[in-house]
Amino acid sequence: MSNETKQPLIQMQNIEKHFGSVIALAGVSLEVYPGECHCLLGDNGAGKSTFIKTMSGVHKPTKGTILFEGEEMNFSKPRDAISAGIATVYQDLAMIPLMSVARNFFMGNEPEKKVGPFKFFDHKKANQITMEEMRTMGINLRGADQAVGTLSGGERQTVAIARAVHFGAKVLILDEPTSALGVRQTSNVLATVDKVRKKGIAVVFITHNVRHALAVGDRFTVLNRGKTLGTAVRGEVTPEELQDLMAGGQELATLEGSLGGTV
């Protein structure tokens, strides 16, 4: 992919975020191009969550600028980011288990039909679209009225991703989508990420698992203690190097040696 010819979809420039006396982000920069999967790696406490929450409008940056399609953005609430086309799928807050898949899918974006002066939730349309979208993502539902609670963790992530794509997300932020999943479910989610990327959507994939990142990522940015430790391109970096950058030190290297490179 020739990134040079394309304009980045989103540019985060020198983002700083302070919480009182704590400096959570100390100048992080990143750009994401359409159709690429940009992996954001970092250990716990590196500032990954704070960073994506700034990107998705939950936090306002203390310093720095956010350019979306070349224009400066000032998100004051998540709704602003969503309407600009930045959708975020949170690890465990994506879906409401007691509600049906269709109700979850259209939550906040309910289709309506007019009957006289009244507007009603168009359940028929909602169910039909949900079934279709799920089938393209490779999930066969028993029915769109099936409760989300009956789906597996991977399927829930997939529903959330399909939902974001259906509602026109240009940038899709995935917050550790694979961290709580089994092997099979993880590969399903990674396959979904690949499908989404091929539609030209920019994916920001947050993880602390190097192998998951390398499986789908085009570029890799490593965060450590609120700072960027550089961005690497696919094929130019080894899993070991990424792992070292994330740990930000040598201890892990020695630890890894004793564990035989299994971390």
Partner 1 sequence: MSENSQAAPVTDERIKSVSNFRKSLMRPELGGICGTIIVFVFFFLTASDSGMFNSQGVMNWSVVSAQFAIIAVGACLLMIAGEFDLSVGSMIGFAGIIIALLSVTYGWPMWMAIIATFVICIAIGALNGWLVIKTGLPSFIVTLAFLFILRGLTIFAAIATTKKTIIGGVRDVAEGDWLASMFGGKVFTGFFSWLGENGYIAVFDRGSRAGQPVVDGIPMLIIWAIILIVFAHILLTKTKFGNWIFAAGGDAQAARYVGVPVNRVKILMFMFTAFCATVFAACQVMEFGSAGADRGVLKEFEAIISVVIGGALLTGGYGSVIGAALGALIFGVVQQGLFFAGVESSLFRVFLGVILLLAVILNTYIRRAITGEK
Note the residues at the interface with partner 1 (CB under 8 A).
78-79, 82, 88, 90, 93-99, 103, 106-110, 112, 119-121, 123, 128, 131-132, 135, 140, 142-143, 147, 149-150, 163
Q: 192: closest CA among 251, 147, 138?
A: 138
Q: Are 72 and 239 in contact (CB under 8 A)?
A: no
Residue placing its CB nearer to partner 1 in the complex, 155 or 218: 155
Q: State the nearest-atom distance from the C-beta of 98 to partner 1, in Å.
A: 5
Closest distance to partner 1 from the beta carbon of 128 (Å): 7
> Quick one: 63 or 113, whose CB is closer to partner 1?
113
Tokens of 34: 């359409």
**Nearer to partner 1 by C-beta: 14 or 187?**
187
Q: Which residue has the tokens 């899709």?
A: 172
Record the tokens describing residue 191, joined without a space: 């396959």
Structure tokens at 107: 């939550």
Question: Which amino acid is located at 169 in the chain?
Answer: A
Torsion, CA 130, CA 187, CA 231, CA 36, rounded to 10: -40
Render 193-229 in DSSP notation, one character per residue.
HHHHHHTT-EEEEEES-HHHHHHH-SEEEEEETTEEE
Minimum CB–partner distance for residue 54 and partner 1 (Å): 15
Identity of the residue, 112 or 240, whose beta carbon is nearer to partner 1 in the bound complex: 112
Query: Minimal distance in Å, beta carbon 96 to partner 1?
Result: 4
Q: Is 203:172 a contact under the CB 8 Å cutoff?
A: yes
Compute the radius of gyration of the chain from its Cα atoms.
Answer: 19
Q: How far apart are CA 215 and CA 244, in angstroms?
A: 18
- What is the closest distance, in whole angstroms, from the C-beta atom of residue 122 to partner 1 in the complex? 9
Least distance (Å) from partner 1 to the CB of residue 235?
Answer: 35
Of the pair 1, 107, the CB lying nearest partner 1 is at 107
Nearer to partner 1, 20 or 108 (CB): 108
Q: Which is nearer to partner 1, 88 or 224 (CB)?
A: 88
Q: How far apart are CA 162 and CA 130, in angstroms?
A: 9
Q: How far is the CB of 167 from partner 1 (least distance, A)?
A: 9
